[in-house]
């Protein structure tokens, strides 16, 4: 229900007992990020990377860094995610958005990441893949008209 503020304190109390459970750690980090506690969220996501090989920890850690304007750290996280599961579209989508960011605009890298989003064949095609591809197409058109 996205009532993050109301549950953040409760998660903090539970963290010492549940910091070995990847799903709990992931959720707690997401709550901290949603409430603007990005530095604290980063440390929680780092904990998640120690107890899980799920690339989503890299993706959310990267998004967190992107939101903090730490573009090189965000890029490193997204790249780590691509190395764990090279066939996934989502980290390339996140890289496209990172490179399209006006404060971090890197046209060649953006083009490469966008190409991966548009050409990769996912195991299961979903609405999320369609939405990511549509957004990437919009980004490319927008950047093309700005140049």
- 3-56 confidence digits (pLDDT tens): 788 899 999 999 999 999 999 999 999 999 999 999 999 999 999 999 999 999
Same-domain pairing of 25 and 81 = no
Instruction: Report residue 141's pLDDT band, with 50, 70 and 90 as the boundaries.
Output: very high
Domain that holds residue 2: 1-52
Predicted pLDDT of residue 58 = 98
With 90 as the cut, is the pLDDT of residue 1 above it?
no
Q: Is 54 helix (H, G, I), strand (E, B) or coil?
A: coil
How high is the pLDDT of residue 123? 84
CA 137/CA 106 separation, integer angstroms: 16
Whether the pLDDT of residue 126 is over 80: the answer is: yes
| b/e burial code for range 117-143 (CB count within 10 A of at least 16 → b) | beeeeeeeeeeebeebbebbeebbeeb
Examine the domain organization and report whether 79 and 46 are in the same domain: no
Residue 66 covered by a domain: no
pLDDT band at 146 (very low <50, low <70, confident <90, very high): confident
Q: Do 28 and 91 reside in the same domain of the chain? A: no
Residues 40 and 85 occupy one common structural domain: no
pLDDT at 76: 98
- Residues composing the chain: 147
**Per the structure block, which two tokens stand in for 114?**
């966008």
Residues 47 and 78 in one domain: no
Q: How many H-runs (helices) and E-runs (strands) does the chain carry?
A: 8, 0
pLDDT tens for 43-82 read 999 999 999 999 999 999 999 999 999 999 999 999 999 9
Number of domains in the chain: 2
Residue 136, domain member (yes or no): yes
Q: Are 52 and 22 in contact (CB under 8 A)?
A: yes
- Rounded Cα distance, 31 and 73, in Å: 21
User: Residue 123: helix, strand or coil by DSSP?
Assistant: coil
């Amino acid at each position: 229900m996205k009532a993050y503020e109301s549950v953040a304190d409760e998660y903090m109390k539970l963290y010492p007992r549940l910091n070995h459970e990847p799903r709990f750690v992931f959720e707690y980090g997401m709550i901290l990020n949603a409430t603007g506690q990005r530095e604290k969220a980063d440390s929680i996501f780092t904990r998640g990377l120690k107890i899980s090989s799920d690339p989503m920890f890299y993706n959310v850690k990267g998004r967190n860094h992107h939101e903090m304007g730490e573009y090189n750290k965000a890029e490193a996280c997204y790249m780590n995610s691509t190395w764990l599961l090279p066939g996934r579209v989502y980290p390339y989508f996140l890289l496209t958005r990172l490179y399209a960011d006006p404060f971090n605009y890197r046209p060649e890298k953006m083009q490469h990441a966008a190409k991966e989003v548009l050409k990769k064949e996912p195991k299961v095609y979903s609405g999320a893949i369609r939405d990511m591809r549509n957004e990437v197409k919009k980004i490319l058109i927008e950047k093309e008209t700005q140049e």
